[in-house]
């Protein structure tokens, strides 16, 4: 195995932590607004799980960076162009069906990636992944069941879920993009090549969509740019301003 490149490791940790941070914030926006109380509680718990994972990933990233920063600093004091999350997780919630479709598409990838990380060569990455995989195994089961229930439900719920899938699916491809950061993680034995997960992912998504009576869109086009910070949607700026306003308005404030 190659020696770990700390610059690449930092980028990998930021990508992983930013995915859970931004999705966790998005899901938290449903708190108090979900269609029924049970879903309100379930979505809040999912958001808490993701934010908890974020604290571990970004905490490790701050250590690797070696500038005396914390997970909170990385979450609340970076500008929008410094975030490294995939575009999928920053997209607006839309209706309840769109939120759960986005959640499933991410959960499916997350449930495949984390077990690989839990067997890698980096002890901290292994420990974080081993903890997170227990939570994500529940996330993917729940989101898949909800997608099936809505997709194979009423005429309206089916139409909304198909529209959500059509809208979100072109953002899935970015999850499997590979670059020099990924190559460094593969060489060090820390993480798999994202592209190597695509077949398993497609099989999992295909099984769920078949049960949901939904049609996976054709085509290989993928929106991308979030993992490198080269391009984000306009939605991320609004999300970050909402997430960071208290720390920006009152620097150094603590609860």
pLDDT digits 0-9 by tens, 116-167? 999 999 999 999 999 999 999 999 999 999 999 999 999 999 999 999 999 9
Q: 28, 22 in Cβ contact below 8 A?
A: no
Which one, of 124, 63, 53, 117, lies nearest residue 85 by Cα? 53
Q: For 224-252, what is each residue's pLDDT tens digit?
A: 999 999 999 999 999 999 999 999 899 88
In the numeric block, the tokens 């479709």 are attached to 101
Q: What is the pLDDT of residues 22-56, one digit of tens each?
A: 999 999 999 998 888 888 899 999 999 999 999 99
End-to-end CA distance of the chain: 44
CATH of domain 6-249: 1.20.1260.10
- pTM of the entire structure? 0.96
Q: Give residue limits of the domains in the chain.
A: 6-249
Length of the chain: 255
Q: What is the pLDDT of residues 176-217, one digit of tens each?
A: 999 999 999 999 999 999 999 999 999 999 999 999 999 999
């Amino acid at each position: 195995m190659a020696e770990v490149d700390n610059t690449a490791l930092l980028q990998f940790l930021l990508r992983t932590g930013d995915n859970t941070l931004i999705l966790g914030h998005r899901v938290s926006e449903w708190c108090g607004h979900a269609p029924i109380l049970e879903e309100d509680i379930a979505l809040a718990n999912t958001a808490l799980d993701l934010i908890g994972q974020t604290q571990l990933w970004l905490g490790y990233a701050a250590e690797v960076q070696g500038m005396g920063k914390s997970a909170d600093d990385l979450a609340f004091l970076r500008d929008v162009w410094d975030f490294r999350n995939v575009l999928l997780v920053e997209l607006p919630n839309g209706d309840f069906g769109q939120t759960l479709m986005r959640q499933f598409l991410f959960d499916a990838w997350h449930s495949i990636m984390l077990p690989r990380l839990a067997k890698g060569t980096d002890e901290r990455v292994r420990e974080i992944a081993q903890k997170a995989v227990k939570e994500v195994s529940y996330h993917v089961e729940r989101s898949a069941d909800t997608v099936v229930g809505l997709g194979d439900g009423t005429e309206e719920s089916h139409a909304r879920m198909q529209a959500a899938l059509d809208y979100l699916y072109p953002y899935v491809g970015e999850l499997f993009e590979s670059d020099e950061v990924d190559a460094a993680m593969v060489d060090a034995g820390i993480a798999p090549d994202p592209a190597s997960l695509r077949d398993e992912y497609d099989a999992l998504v295909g099984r769920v969509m078949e049960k949901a009576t939904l049609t996976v869109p054709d085509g290989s086009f993928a929106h991308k740019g979030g993992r490198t910070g080269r391009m984000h949607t306009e939605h991320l700026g609004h999300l970050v301003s909402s997430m960071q306003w208290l720390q920006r308005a009152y620097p150094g404030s603590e609860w």
